[in-house]
Amino acid sequence: MALQLGLSADMLWLDKPLEWRISRLTEMGFGVGIGIGLTGVCPIF
């Protein structure tokens, strides 16, 4: 069974815009998805 690492863009690089964080994470090889957390809808990788 393969495991995948998940990250939340709204919890990393808090001083950067969300678009910048998404771009950096995709450059690092993470996929893009949408998750629903306690604070609302947020992109997850």
Per residue of the chain (45 residues), what is the pLDDT tens digit?
787 777 777 778 889 998 898 888 889 888 777 666 666 555 555
Give the integer Cα–Cα distance in Å for 34 and 15: 21
User: Does residue 35 lie in a domain region?
Assistant: yes
User: Does residue 2 lie in a domain region?
Assistant: no
Please give the residue range of the domain that contains residue 37.
Answer: 9-44
User: Does residue 3 lie in a domain region?
Assistant: no
What's the predicted TM-score (pTM) here?
0.60
Radius of gyration of the chain (CA): 11
- Residue with structure tokens 């090889």? 29
User: Does residue 30 lie in a domain region?
Assistant: yes
Three-state secondary structure readout of 9-40: HHHCCCCCCHHHHHHHHHHCCCCCEEEEECCE
Number of domains in the chain: 1
